[in-house]
Amino acid sequence: MQIQPILLVAAGGAIGAVCRYLTTSAITSFFGKEFPYGTITVNIIGSFLIGLLTSVLSQNYLEPQLKLLLITGLLGGFTTFSTFSLDTVNLIHASDYIKLFLYIAGSIVLGVGAAVTGLLIGEAIKAH
């Protein structure tokens, strides 16, 4: 029996959202609230994982249903582009342009770098 795709996405999204909340809370409690450390952390982790899972799943190591659960659902619920956008606007309103630049540049450079790293590691896993 095949599970309905919408249920897989919903289950993954719920798990991803809880993981985002726990990760962001832990990072914020450790580093503080003066910079959106939690958001940038989950986005970098999510970028790495989407690269890794996309690479691994492209070789059909896992069922297509797991792609819906893990990539669309879990990582969709875990990463936080809408929060990134709000954090960016808040830094603009605070006129904190150094943190604004670091946040945008760090999110893009580290996020893309994490996705590339995940893809490369996935390719290395497939080669073995």
Helices (H), the chain: 5-31, 37-57, 64-67, 76-78, 81-93, 97-127
Dihedral in degrees, nearest 10, Cα atoms 113, 115, 119, 121: 70
Q: How far is CA 74 from the centre of its chain?
A: 9
Q: Is 83 annotated as a binding residue?
A: no
Tokens of 98: 């150094």
Q: Is 76 labeled as ligand-binding?
A: yes
Owner of token pair 């830094």: 91
Query: Which residues belong to the annotated binding site for Na(+)?
Result: 76, 79
Query: Which residues belong to the annotated binding site?
Result: 76, 79
